[in-house]
Structure 1
Amino acid sequence: MDRASIVHDNFLRRVAARDFPAGGGAAPGLTAPEGVTLFRAQCLSRALDLTSREMQKAGTGFYTIGSSGHEGMAAVAHALRPDDIAFLHYRDAAFQIARAQQVPGQTMTWDMLLSFACSREDPTSGGRHKVLGSRALMIPPQTSTIASHLPKAVGAAYGIGAARRRPPEHRALADGGLAMCSFGDASANHSTAQGAINTAGWTSVQAVPLPLLFVCEDNGIGISTKTPAGWIEASMRHRAGMRYFRADGLNLYETFAVARQAAEYVRSRRKPAFLHLRTIRLYGHAGADVATSYLPRAEVEAEEANDPLLHSVRLLAEAGALEPTDALSIYEDTRARVERVAAEAVKRPHLDSAEAVRASLIPPPRPCAPRNGPAPEDRAAAFGGDMRAMEQPQPMSRLINWALTDLMLEVPEVTLMGEDVGRKGGVYGVTQKLLARFGADRVIDTLLDEQSILGLAIGMAHNGFIPVPEIQFLAYLHNAEDQLRGEAATLPFFSDGQFTNPMVVRIAGLGYQRGFGGHFHNDNSLAVLRDIPGLILACPSNGPDAARMLRECVRLAREEQRVVVFLEPIALYSMRDLHEAGDGGWIGPYPAPDERIALGEIGVHGEGRDLAIVSYGNGAYLSRQAQAELIERGVQARVIDLRWLAPLPQDALLQAVEGCGAVLVVDECRRTASQSEGLMTLFSEHGVGPAARVVAEDCFIATGPAYAAPLPSREGIVDAALALTGGRR
């Protein structure tokens, strides 16, 4: 027999014989009906685990990581409010079931079985994944996360406090609520968990409201790797800024009492707490995992003998709430009902096309109150003497600063966050004066942790804010890229568009900084951003474009709920001249606040028909330089500035190169995995050509005089263009 069947048979036999494991008594707090209701939730969670394995064997189910041994989470749900946002560990079916018992009209058995079957009628993910989650229950769906959901839980808790001071238009989380996140003892060791816990404590000691409850479900093992005895308590009990609570998750009554105490602490103090919950793991990690292959059989059997459902039956009997015979009937009736419902759920239709699977990648637009631009008097007060400079040409960094100011005046939900964005005004001064203009609750100086910066943004977006987090340098994103890939961009996909976390991530990056910083400050790889489905990647090449594009990015986040990355070329922040010193060819006046460059709208400079040079960012700047020299050599070229790198503006681009004799792609990113590969493929597939490319070498960037050696140059562009067109050398 498999272990699941053994545990099932043991339960039937031991309840009938009134052979219960020893344990603590029934703490006060739960009424008899409440205790029975929670036991029903535990039984349903267990029955779903058993049925999921049967469905997998029959080829009708596709997920078997169960919640058996963690059924005590039903009591945690009962200790919270149903509008407290909950980011759940994948073993928390009992939590979701118990929360559903608090909200009328829920059909949790049917819903979860549809999810096991990956039916397109699954109300959570639409058949895309088996996930816990529910809009009605305020549980954003998670995939099989290893603590990657903890940073956004910190952000959601911060957003609850921030909304008290400045309620957003699309506020979703209740005033007086808290954010809860649960995870396993093994996940607690992950850098993402440690960073989130550290950030919560760091924030708390500064007296910033942060109503957050961490729940660590400690079953003592991560698949096959043991958690050292006492490790979680030793490492978490004395964390600064956070109160530690401990409960036996096998004891339904104790878990409820301690969880309620922890929740009351978080809610009243508006400070984070850590609830350490002892659990066990039954059946192994998942259906394919045989625990006895790496654990002694005696140890596995000892855990099985400590089944939390046996403890619950004992406690309910001791409290006079439920006789064991009645508990056994509830268990068996629940098991039979789940099997009956499963027989119908597996017949429901599945997703049957790529279009159907992709349908939720792009979230639905949401109605927003009309914005008519910042009021003149507000602009005068905010800009002060800068108003007089707006008609004069200015470099990119200053125009981005002014665009941020206008956006923050117009849209109160826009909130900046990042390391050094406030007091210092950013590494390159792009956010100077914004702290003085808007205050510390809208220009947030964060600790040095990119995962926490993006998590703060994701969580605040859950409560209706429009976060604009800053990552200081493109290379620093790699510390936290999964927060975009695994959390932000996937949320609408796995929730069938029901949950979103729109934002505009500002990243300073790309190469050509003269002699500064090497590859950590001159990073020319965008591959990790370009291949995230649903993400928008924008990259301006000049100041006026940057201001107009940034406004469109905020509109996309606010109205269309999109996740956008706004990549700012560092080397062009202060660039003024194009061809020769003093010509002012790369600066421009500040565009009026209502001017935007729409998503997919490219820039075309010149009407030459001999050659189309396609580029972006620094490449667009160099291509414009090369364009002048090519004209002198008899080659009439147009320069096409992509502006939008993902999704690639294919139709506009093909129209822009139409009628040109040849196409040259100039890409400052590396030869391998750069935009140029996609562009060359596009042109080849549509019969555009001949085409060639000028790209960076597959190499990191050096510090010192060789800073630009591996990168495209004006001279290299000219040479490639002449070779492609047969022009004069």
Structure 2
Amino acid sequence: MTMAQAINHTLGELLARDRDILVFGEDVGRKGGVYGVTKGLRKRFGSRRVFDTLLDEQSILGTALGAGLAGFVPIPEIQYLAYIHNAIDQIRGEAATLQYFSQGRYRNPMVVRVAGLAYQKGFGGHFHNDNSVAALRDIPGVILAAPSRADDAAAMLRTCVSAARVDGRVCIFLEPIALYHTRDLTHGDGAWAAPPDPSAHVEIGRARAYGDGEDLTLVCFANSVPMSLRVADRLGRDGVGVRVLDLRWLAPLPVEDLLDHARATGRVLIADETRHGGAVSDSILAALTDAGFNGATARVTSTDSFVPLGPAAESVLLTEPMIETAARTLLKTSPRPHPVEATSESPTQRPRRFGFGRRRRGNTVENGS
């Protein structure tokens, strides 16, 4: 399945399993969403559980607040990331604060699905290509998930619903629009489509690692994950051992996994598709510094700009060549560090299909597999 199909499939499973789940938002019912992510759910589960709302984000989130208080587990959709800023106080001043200010007596659980980030081809502009998540990451207690692939999207959505149901958590589930229907990592390989496991969960605050190279750790999330994997493959052909770390969770950050993989190579490059000012990489670098990491670090980000229409978007967004150039510069300008073996057991997933360049085994150096 693609990411869009996996999310649709998982929503269907959750609606069938739990009668207290509601799915609603602009065009999610009759139309099935702008990108078809909720297609067919209204027909299967009826208009009382899957329904269209007013074209008003404050009303959508306000409905979720009331539904959560009434004992439901609402899964509202905000059609585009920029639209959530129109109603951010519903999250900041209401949803995220209710348990805190009521000393746990009341709660309004929800999983807010948000189509967002950039890289839409031939479409965009101020309100439809947005790469700013700083306001969401600044709200205490809110969980911010950002899957990059189909199987993770399914498992992380299931985890968010469980966190909402059991602990009353407010979760923002950020879905990269440009990856909704992506099947290939490289042309025709089908590597970015995957069958979701109906029982899988992803622990909140745990990353996913690809490869086990010892020369460079590429830290990324969402759209920058497939870009980083392609860069890692090219570097691997030149004998550079790279590992790619998909953060998956932007709040809370997977700091334990980040430190494990940073120490394993001693060099960290962060490929951050958000804007340079208020970027996610700010907190990643701070986490490394706070933990006493003394290896080499660098980052590449998008420009401090709204995303323009059409091909002009490429002038402000993070690109694959930018990641590769920064990686080669970091490798060239920083001396080879002495990797520090990870001391904690990390349950990060390491698919064996990706192995970028050199991998040390004792006194030998082999090709990755």
State the TM-score, normalizing by the size of structure 1. 0.45
Amino acid at match of 2:196: Y
Q: Please give the alpha-carbon distance, in whole angstroms, between the structure 2 residues aligned to 1:595 and 1:682.
A: 28
How big is the shift at 1:657? Answer: 2.2
* 2:300 maps to which of 688, 694, 700: 694
**1:299-355: CA deviations, max 9, x gaps?**
xxxxxxxxxxxxxxxxxxxxxxxxxxxxxxxxxxxxxxxxxxxxxxxxxxxxxxxxx
- Percent identity over the alignment is 52
Counterpart secondary structure, 1:594: coil
> Which secondary structure does the structure 2 equivalent of 1:517 belong to?
coil
- Structure 2 contact 145–171 (Cα < 8 Å) conserved: yes
Distance in 1 (alpha carbons) for counterparts of 2:201 and 2:314? 32
Looking at secondary structure, tell me which structure has more helix per residue: 1
Residues of 1 paired with 2:301 and 2:220: CA distance?
A: 10
SS of the residue 1:544 aligns to: helix
CA–CA separation in structure 2 for the residues paired with 1:564 and 1:677: 22
How big is each residue's C-alpha offset from its partner over 1:177-224, in whole Å with a ceiling of 9 and x where there is no partner? xxxxxxxxxxxxxxxxxxxxxxxxxxxxxxxxxxxxxxxxxxxxxxxx
| CA deviation string 1:358-399 (max 9, x = no partner) | xxxxxxxxxxxxxxxxxxxxxxxxxxxxxxxxxxxx211001
Task: Show the counterpart of 2:358.
Answer: none
Determine whether 1:483 maps to 2:78: no
Partner of 1:604: 209
Match 1:566 to one of 167, 170, 173:
173
Q: Give the AA of the match of 1:710.
A: V
1:680 paired residue number:
285
SS state at 1:467 partner: strand
- For 1:454 and 1:545, the matched residues in 2 are separated by 25
Which of 652, 659, 667 in structure 1 is aligned with 2:264? 659
* Equivalent position of 2:315 in the other structure: 709
Report the secondary structure of 2:273's partner residue: strand
Following the alignment from structure 2 to structure 1, what is the Cα–Cα distance between the partners of residues 102 and 279? 31
What is the TM-score with the length of structure 2 in the denominator? 0.88
Once residues 473 and 409 of structure 1 are traced to their aligned partners in structure 2, the CA distance between those partners, rounded to angstroms, is 26
Q: C-alpha distance in 2, partners of 1:557/1:411? A: 13
The 3-state SS of whatever aligns with 1:519 is coil
Q: How far is 1:454 from its partner?
A: 0.2
- Displacement, 1:543? 0.6
**Matched residue SS, 1:701:** coil
Contact between 2:155 and 2:196, CA under 8 Å: does it hold in 1? Answer: no
- Asked whether the 8 Å contact 2:144–2:252 carries over to 1, the reply is yes
1:523-542 pair list within 5 angstroms: 523-542=130-149
Look up the match of 2:31.
Answer: 424
Is contact 2:124–2:307 with CA below 8 Å preserved after alignment?
A: no
TM-superposed deviation, 1:578? 1.0
Q: Select between 455-464 and 513-522 the one with higher mean Cα deviation.
A: 513-522
Kept after mapping to 2: 8 A contact 1:515/1:706: no
Please identify, of 533-542 and 512-521, the stretch whose mean Cα deviation from structure 2 is larger.
512-521
Any stretches of 5+ residues in structure 1 without a counterpart?
Answer: 1-393
Aligned-pair distance for 1:706? 1.9
Counterpart Cα distance in 2 of 1:670 and 1:600: 22
| Matched ranges for 1:220-369 at <5 A | none
What are the Cα deviations for residues 473-501 of structure 1, in whole angstroms up to 9, with x where unaligned? 00011110100000000111111111110
Counterpart residue identity of residue 54, structure 2: L
Query: Conserved in 1, the CA contact under 8 Å of 2:204 and 2:252?
Result: no
Code of the aligned partner of 2:157 = L
Please state which structure has a larger fraction of its residues in strand: 2
Name the SS of the counterpart of 1:564 in structure 2.
Answer: strand
536-545 or 654-663, which moves further after superposition?
A: 654-663
- Amino acid of the structure 1 residue aligned with 2:125: G
Q: Which of the residues 100, 105, 115 maps onto 1:493?
A: 100
Q: Quick one: which of 438, 452, 455 aligns to 2:62?
A: 455
Q: Counterpart in 2 of 1:721?
A: 327
Partners of 1:515 and 1:707 within 8 A in 2:
no
Query: How many pairs does the alignment contain?
Result: 332
The separation in 2 between residues aligned to 1:467 and 1:625, in whole angstroms, is: 37
Residue by residue over 1:257-314, the C-alpha shift from the partner in whole angstroms, topping out at 9 and shown as x without a partner, is: xxxxxxxxxxxxxxxxxxxxxxxxxxxxxxxxxxxxxxxxxxxxxxxxxxxxxxxxxx
Which runs of 5 or more structure 2 residues have no equivalent in the other structure? 334-369
Kindly state the Cα deviation for residue 707 of structure 1 after the two structures are TM-superposed. Answer: 2.1
By how many angstroms is 1:656 displaced?
2.7
Deviations 1:628-651 (CA, angstroms, capped at 9, x unpaired): 011112221100000110011212
Per the alignment, residue 650 of structure 1 pairs with 255
> Whose Rg is larger?
1
Q: 2: CA distance between counterparts of 1:668 and 1:634?
A: 27
Bigger RCO of structures 1 and 2 (CA < 8 A, at least 6 apart): 2
Q: Does 1:465 align with 2:72?
A: yes
Alpha-carbon deviations, 1:549-605, whole Å to 9, x = none?
00000000001110000000000001111122x1112111232x1111111121000
CA distance in 1, matches of 2:89, 2:226: 31
Once residues 646 and 558 of structure 1 are traced to their aligned partners in structure 2, the CA distance between those partners, rounded to angstroms, is 19
